Every structure is written in C-alpha cells, then in structure tokens.
C-alpha cells in the first residue's frame, strides 16, 4: 500500500494546483509532521496540507489544532499569514515542493523522513520542522538552504543523454529507468509496458530505435491526460495515481475530478484509520489478553465439570452394583492376605489368560495403596481393600464435591473475566463513537431535491418523498406540477411521493414509486412485509376538506379515483449512484438501484437496530471505496429496524 507521493505524483499535483496562485494565506497550523495552510481563494476556503516525507495536496480532512501552537507554527504565521501565494513549484523532478509567499518560501521535502523549511528572500533558513546536518548540507537557522544533490530529470533529458544513461551499465530495462531517471519502479514498469518491452529485458539487447520507443513512452507518460483514481486490490486501497496506468488494468478503481481530491481521499482515510487504531490500541491489547484468559478458563471449567461428573457417576456405579462390589472386595481381601500382593498379581494374570471373568475385570493393582482397579460398565473404578463399600463410594463423592467447589470458583472467575471483557468492549465502542480529532469539511452545495427522500427510477424519472410533515407540505405545495404523478401508501404516517414528469412514466416507475411509499412508511418499523399503495393525478390532491374538518401540516385530501397496487413488498436497496455529475448514496427499490449501479445492498424489515444496520452498510460501502457518514445513511434509510438480505457486487 502506497504511503508517500512519488516525483510523478508531485509533478501532476503541482501543475493542477496553479489555480491557488494569488490566494491569501489566512492561517498556518502545525501538528507533528504536518503543516496545514488555510487559504482564502477566489472560490472560497481551501486547506493545503504539506506532510514531511509523505504528501502535498488540498485537504478536506481537518485535524483539531493543538491548544498550544508550537514555536515553528508561530514563526510560520508571523512570516506567511496575510501574504499571497506567488508560486507553487516542484524542484526539478525531485520530491520537493516550493510555495513562495512574498519574500519567503516554504520548502517541503517529501523524500525519506522529510522536512519542512522556511527560507527568506536570500535563501537563508528562517525555521525548520527539524534541524539536521548532512555531509553535503545543513538544515539550521541562518544557514543557506541547499537542495540535495540533483538527479536526472526525465522531462528535460535529451534523447542523446537518455541513450548515454541507459547504456552506462548493463541493467534490465526497468532497473535502468528507475535508477538512472529518478522515477521509481512502478513508473519504470509502466513505461516498459507502454513501449512494448518486458520489464526484465536487458538494455544491451535493445537497439537505439527500441530505446527511442522507450524514450517516447516516457515523455508521453509524464505528460499524459489527467485521470485521477484510487486503485483497489481485494476491496482495499492499494494506490492513488494521477493517470490511467496499464499496470493496473483490470483492477477496481474509483475516479475523481482532480488528483488533489484523489490524494485527499486516499491519505485522509489512512489518517483516520491510523487515528482509530492509535486511540484503541491499549484497549485492544487488553481485550486480547482477556480473551486468552477466557479461553483458558473455559478449558478449565470443562475439565472440572468432566471430573465432577465422572466421580459422581463412579460413586453411583458402586452403589448400583452393591452386591458385586461387596463380593469382589471380600474376595480380593482374602486373596491378598493369604497369598500376598505379588502372588495375587500372578494369579490375576493367570486368570486373565484362562478367561476368568473376575480376573478380566481387573485393570490395575497397587499394593502400596492396597487398591485394585476394575472396569465396570466401561469405567475404571479403584477399590480400596482396607475400606468398606460405602467408604469407597464416599471417596468418589468427596472428589466430585471438591471438583464442584473448584468449578464454582472457576465459574466466578470466568464470569468476572467476561464482565471485564464486556467493559473493555464498551470502552472501545465508546472510543470509536467519540469524534476523532480529524474532521472532514464538506463543501459541496446540496441539490434542491436532497431536502427530500429521493431516487431515480429504473426508467430515469426523479421520484421525491417527504421526510416529515414540513417536507411533505413543501413537496406537494411547491414541487408537484401538473405533469407529475402522486403516490401514497395505505398506511398512517406514510410520506407523500411525487414522480416528476410522471405522466410520461411507465408502469415500472409507478410500481417503484408506490413501493417506495410503503417502504418508507411506518409499516417498515412494524416489521410488515407487504402493504397497499395507490397513485393519482396532481389535480386530485388538495388541502380543501369537507365542511367542519381540518387538515394539519403535511396532510392532504385525495379526491376521485385512486389507482391501487396491492401487496407491494417492503424491500429496498442501498447503493451509490451518479446523478447530475455527482455521486450520491441512495436507498430505493431494488430495480431502481440496480439500473444505476452494479453494487448494492438489499434490505428488508428485520431485527437489527437501525444504528447497527447503518454501521453494517457503511462497512460494506467502505470496502467498495465509498466514504459515507453514518448520519447520511441514517437519513436515507427507512424508519425502524432492518436486515441485510443480499449484497451484490
């Protein structure tokens, strides 16, 4: 998984961010390795993030600023706040960006550990994220800032110089490109593919004409059309790239309008995941320890329970075979007293060979304990010859009693561990619910129809429904036109539904709108699986009531013929669809969602709490690469509990 930007990435994002030139620096924030510059642009607020050794792009993920600004923050604010960005540049083809604001330049080194350095108009270091000394340069106050030793720039190299570099050493093509031209292995492999050669091809086997093809593929790659996307492998983010790459053909991708947005989505999600992991790390470790203890205690309980039951059964077995045991005890006593224990053992062995039934029952002899072990009903029973039959049985009952006490003690310890585990799990859940110190700024202006429940039918018609009394009132009064259709469920508290331009719609759209009406009604929360609904024309819907009656907010009368659809299933799907150039998470009838996306989650009324259902759907959408807020999902789902019955995609 990619963790930092490449030289190619920096080239594309710097070129893309030229529109920020002329923007005013409002404020500067510093947290760890990250510098965030809050800008006032011609399009409003923008936040530029520069993370040492990692990344540089606009961000909508805003960390809570430290309560006490660092000395580095104060210096940056002193020299940059109120100034205007005069230039945003990449140094050569290196992983270095420069932001010039008046007489000062902020330099971001995005290689290895990285650094952020502020220099003045004379290129003297004013301040830095960290002060360091190398053999060829020093990062310290008042010292002249020096760039790391220059590397070859593939965008400026001539074909003659390219040939010279390629033939300096006997290397494979991909190694020669990566090592000699400062581009990294991934782009070296991409260029090899575009040029039509295997990446392992030795350069010495390529003619000058072959290398010209490689050179031209390199130039074209680094000037390719912008097509920002995040690449997924097995449902997880793998890479973020500015252009379409052949090495990622066939893999799942999510495309963005700008490379900065793609970088923000990619690194923003990584930042949040790391923050979540860090927040609960200690609690998760404690949870693992408690789970291990719980497993050991479960094994111990099983052992005690088995031993308790075994001894109880043997005690009962002795009494159940009272006459036999009494006779055996008597015979064994007489034999050992008369013959001695060694001779007794020999006689038992001889008896076994002869097939003597009593001898065959003996499974062990212990002279020291004056005990003989016999097998009775498949169980081994040790009989002490110096004890009565009652005393022998009591020994087993006592053992059972001891194991019962041990079991009781172990059970208390087990319950105590379970209680501690539950407490830790609740703490983890509470921590996860708490707002992270990373928040995402949503700048998108909402569309007019988003104030309602809505979807696009399988035939392409916009269908709207009220969310409450106010939006029901607004929908009918302001947004239902004479060419629309009106739908309503035969359920108290059902929303009003309007099909825009619905009189041109077919049966499929009307069915979906009526199904939406029943599914978004209180029938869902009652766990009903089907209900009736009807459709009518807009001129049949009015606020006029019979004399003496009054309609409250959001209520309307429907006069004339109602066109009924009976037994409509309460069944919906959740998916992300593109409408009017934007992606929206939508909950709608299955066929409507299916017509606009290949991936969706089918839900029905069920036992899962709505909050848990939201979390489950959110996890599935995140695996598909979509970041959706829980409150946004909560807003589009029907009222009440539900279950996921199918996941498609």
Is the separation of the CB atoms in 91 and 123 below 8 Å? no
- For residues 540 and 535, give the distance between their C-alpha atoms in angstroms, rounded to a whole number: 10
Taken in order 511, 517, 520, 521, is the CA torsion positive or negative?
A: negative
- In 169-251, DSSP assigns E strands to 229-233, 236-241
The residues with which 18 forms a beta bridge, in sequence order, are: none
- Cα separations in angstroms, 63 against 28, 269, 270, 302, 438: 12, 13, 13, 50, 4
* 10-residue stretch averages of pLDDT, the chain, 649 residues long: 90 93 93 92 85 94 80 94 95 94 96 94 95 90 91 89 92 92 90 94 94 95 92 93 94 92 91 73 86 93 93 93 92 92 93 91 93 93 93 94 94 93 86 58 71 95 93 93 96 93 96 96 92 96 79 87 95 94 93 96 95 93 86 89 94
Q: What is the 3-state secondary structure (H, E, C) of 593-619?
A: HHCCCCCEEEEEEEEECHHHHHHHHHH
Dig out the tokens for 151 from the structure: 């590397």
Give residue 434's pLDDT: 60
- For residues 75 and 44, give the distance between their C-alpha atoms in angstroms, rounded to a whole number: 25
Dig out the tokens for 616 from the structure: 């489950």
pLDDT tens digit sequence for 5-30: 999 999 999 999 999 999 999 999 99
Dig out the tokens for 388 from the structure: 């009565």
Strands 557-558 and 115-119: unpaired
pLDDT tens digit sequence for 49-66: 999 999 999 998 887 777
The residues with which 374 forms a beta bridge, in sequence order, are: 362, 381
Cα–Cα–Cα angle for 563, 568, 569, rounded to 5 degrees: 165
Would you tell me how many other CB atoms lie within 10 Å of the CB of residue 514?
27
Burial category of 292 from C-beta neighbours within 10 Å (exposed 0-12, middle 13-18, buried 19 and up): exposed
Is the separation of the CB atoms in 403 and 308 below 8 Å? yes
Give residue 502's pLDDT: 96
Dig out the tokens for 69 from the structure: 């600004």
- For residues 495 and 454, give the distance between their C-alpha atoms in angstroms, rounded to a whole number: 11
**DSSP per residue over 114-146, as a string?**
-EEEEE-TTSBEEEESS-EE-SS-EE-TTSBP-
Length in residues, the chain:
649
- Global pTM reads 0.51
Spatial CA neighbour of 108 closest among 62, 63, 55, 70 = 55
Taken in order 618, 620, 623, 626, is the CA torsion positive or negative?
A: negative
């Amino acid at each position: 998984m990619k963790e930092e930007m490449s030289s190619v990435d920096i080239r594309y994002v710097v070129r893309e961010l030229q529109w920020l030139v002329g923007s005013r620096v409002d404020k500067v924030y510093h947290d760890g390795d990250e510098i965030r510059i809050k800008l006032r642009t011609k399009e409003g607020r923008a936040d530029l993030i520069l993370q040492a050794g990692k990344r540089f792009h606009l961000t909508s993920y805003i960390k809570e600023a430290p309560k006490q600004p660092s000395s580095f923050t104060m210096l940056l604010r002193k020299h940059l706040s109120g100034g205007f960005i005069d230039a945003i540049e990449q140094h050569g083809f290196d992983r270095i960006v420069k932001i010039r604001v008046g007489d000062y330049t902020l330099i971001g080194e995005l290689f290895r550990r990285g650094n952020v350095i502020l220099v003045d108009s004379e290129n003297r270091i004013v301040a830095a994220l960290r002060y360091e000394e190398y053999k060829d340069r020093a990062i310290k106050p008042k010292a002249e800032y020096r760039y790391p030793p220059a590397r070859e720039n593939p965008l400026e190299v001539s074909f003659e110089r390219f040939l010279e570099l390629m033939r300096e050493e006997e290397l494979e093509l991909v190694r020669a490109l990566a090592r000699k031209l400062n581009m990294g292995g991934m782009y070296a492999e991409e260029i090899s593919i575009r040029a039509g050669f295997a990446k392992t091809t030795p350069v010495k086997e390529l003619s000058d004409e072959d290398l010209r093809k490689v050179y031209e593929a390199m130039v074209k790659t680094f000037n390719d059309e912008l097509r920002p996307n995040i690449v997924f492998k097995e449902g997880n983010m793998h890479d973020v790239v500015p252009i379409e790459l052949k090495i990622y053909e066939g893999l799942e991708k999510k495309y963005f309008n700008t490379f900065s947005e793609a970088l923000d989505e990619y690194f923003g999600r990584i930042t949040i995941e790391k923050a979540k992991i860090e927040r609960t790390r200690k609690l998760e470790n404690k949870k693992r320890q408690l789970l291990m203890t719980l497993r050991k205690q479960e094994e111990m309980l099983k052992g005690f329970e088995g031993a308790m039951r075994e001894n109880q059964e043997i005690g009962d077995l002795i009494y159940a075979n009272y006459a036999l045991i009494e006779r055996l005890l008597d015979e064994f006593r007489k034999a050992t007293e008369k013959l001695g224990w060694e001779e007794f053992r020999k006689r038992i062995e001889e008896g076994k060979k002869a097939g003597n039934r009593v001898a065959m029952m003996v499974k062990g002899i212990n002279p020291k304990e004056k005990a003989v072990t016999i097998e009775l009903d498949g169980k081994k029973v040790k009989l002490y010859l110096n004890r009565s039959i009652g005393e022998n049985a009591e020994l087993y009952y006592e053992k059972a009693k001891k194991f019962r006490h041990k079991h009781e003690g172990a059970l208390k310890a087990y319950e105590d561990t379970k209680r501690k585990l539950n407490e830790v799990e609740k703490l983890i859940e509470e921590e996860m619910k708490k707002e992270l110190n990373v928040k995402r700024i949503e700048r998108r202006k909402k569309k007019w129809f988003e104030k309602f429940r809505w979807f696009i039918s399988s035939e392409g018609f916009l269908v709207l429904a009220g969310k409450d009394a106010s939006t029901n009132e607004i929908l009918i009064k302001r947004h239902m036109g004479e060419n629309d259709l009106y739908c309503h469920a035969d359920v108290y508290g059902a929303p009003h539904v309007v099909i825009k331009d619905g009189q041109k719609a077919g049966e499929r759209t009307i069915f979906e709108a009526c199904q939406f009406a029943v599914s978004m009604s209180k029938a869902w929360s009652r766990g009903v699986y089907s209900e009736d609904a009807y459709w009518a024309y807009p001129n049949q819907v009015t606020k006029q009531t019979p004399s003496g009656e009054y309609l409250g907010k959001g209520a309307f009368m429907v006069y004339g013929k109602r066109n009924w659809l009976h037994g409509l299933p309460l069944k919906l799907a959740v998916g992300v669809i593109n409408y009017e150039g934007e992606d929206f998470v939508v909950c709608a009838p299955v066929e409507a969602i299916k017509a606009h996306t290949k991936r969706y989650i089918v839900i029905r009324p069920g036992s899962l709490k709505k909050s848990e259902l939201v979390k489950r759907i959110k996890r599935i959408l995140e695996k598909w690469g979509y970041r959706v807020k829980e409150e946004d999902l909560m807003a589009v789902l029907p009222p009440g509990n539900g279950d996921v019955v199918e996941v498609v995609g």
